[in-house]
Structure 1
Amino acid sequence: MTTRLQQYIAGISDALTVAGLKVEGSPIQALQRQDSQVCTLLPGQEDVEASPVGRSTRGRLIRLAVHTAGDDHLAETEAVFEAAHPVIMAFVADGLVSIVELGTDEPQYVATDLSRQITGKRYLVTYQTDEHSLSA
Structure 2
Amino acid sequence: MAAAKGTVIITGANGGLGSAIAKQLVFRPEFVNYHGIYLVRDANSAAGLNSALATTSSHPHDVFSMDLTDLDSVRKTAEGINLRISAGSIPQIKTLILNAGTWTKDGFDTTFSANYLGHWLLTMLLLESMDKESGRIVLVGSQAHE
**Structure 2 length as normaliser, TM-score?**
0.31
- Which of the two has greater strand per residue? 1
| TM-score scaled by length of structure 1 | 0.33
Structure exhibiting the larger radius of gyration computed from Cα positions:
1
